[in-house]
Amino acid sequence: MIDENSIVVMTALRAITIASELCERVRKDLTGQESIVKSDRSPVTVADYGSQAIICKLIKQKFPHDIIVAEEDSTELRKPSRSRILEKVTDYVNGFIQGSSAEISSWIDFSSHLIRDRFWTLDPIDGTKGFLRGDQYAIALALIENGIVRLGFMACPNLYVDRDQPNGKRGCLFFAIRGEGSFQMDRDGGRRKTLSVSRVENPSDASFTESVESDHTDHLLHQRLAQKLNITKPSLRMDSQAKYGIVARGEATFYLRAPAFSEPEYRENIWDHAAGSIIAEEAGGKVTDTLGKPLDFTCGIKMKKNHGVVVTNGILHDVVLKALKM
Ligand code: AMP
Ligand code: MG
């Protein structure tokens, strides 16, 4: 059994805490030059690489045989034309851990895309677009064993701590242990709270959260579903897996992610959902795809057998699934 004082949990929490500090430093210095346009056109920043380098290094240092399936690799970063970016990544990482550019590139490449019975999955910055806009983003790390997410860790450096004070203190750490619960702490690890989902039973009292990006989800379909359920509260649009945290702490009743109309065949990445899903489930929530199937983390880096994602407080899960079918 893994408990919250175990070395695995402590290592993961320390890794995401340091990575989130690095991300915030980069964000504060962001001038726009740090983003590279990858072939899929998603912006990748110095912070993505720095975050992945730190987390992979700290996990491998303690658990040399562990496997990490993370979003980035250093191929682009090692190109001579990217030397300025690599220099910046090195400077930021050296603010926390010493290493040469070559070492830091090799830490990033501790990651592979081979799925085994037991592996970590990491999104060094989930919601890069939110990060670049100054909105929400998350550092998301999970441990998966035999297809089941056992542990989930998520740092949301720009998320307000207290749902009743959206303009108050920012920076949350979420973590969940299968069978033990889901928790939120402040960015420094203080003020730990056990999380539980909302108790709303009547659909018309519900509220929901969804992506900001219309390329990532079908806002129109969500709006039609809200009308069917007589939901009057406006949706809370937010980037990254922070949305799972919002459902876990009862701030929204559910999180909808119907595939975007422009990309109905898109399949979700495991690192975009593993950490968030256990955080919602351990807070009493339910997570499936839009057809009601459990999320399947065993098919490789893509969730090939799933179609979108639905996260609810459990009570309203079937109601939401049914409304999606209508
Ligand atoms: P969000 O901030 O919830 O909109 O989700 C951000 C994540 O969406 C990124 O990490 C991407 O991996 C993922 N993503 C990219 N393209 C798509 C797409 N067409 N549909 C759904 N998710 C996508
Ligand atoms: Mg992501």
Quickly state the pLDDT bin for 42 (edges 50, 70, 90). very low
Q: In the predicted model, is pLDDT for residue 40 greater than 50?
A: no
The pair of structure tokens assigned to 316 is 């309203």
Quickly state the pLDDT bin for 49 (edges 50, 70, 90). very high
266 lines ligand 1 (CB under 6 A): yes
Catalytic positions:
48, 128
Q: Whole-model pTM?
A: 0.96
50-107 pLDDT, tens digit per residue, is 999 999 999 999 999 999 999 999 999 999 988 989 999 999 999 999 999 999 999 9
289 lines ligand 1 (CB under 6 A): no
133 lines ligand 1 (CB under 6 A): no
Query: Length of the chain, please?
Result: 326
Cα 272 to ligand 2 centre (Å)? 5
Judging by beta carbons within 10 Å of its beta carbon (0-12, 13-18, 19+), is residue 97 exposed, middle or buried?
Answer: middle
Q: In the predicted model, is pLDDT for residue 245 greater than 70?
A: yes
- pLDDT of 45: 81
Among 176, 177, 171, CA closest to 190 = 171
Q: CB within 8 A of 325, min separation 6: which ones?
A: none
Looking at the CA of 129, which ligand is closest? 1
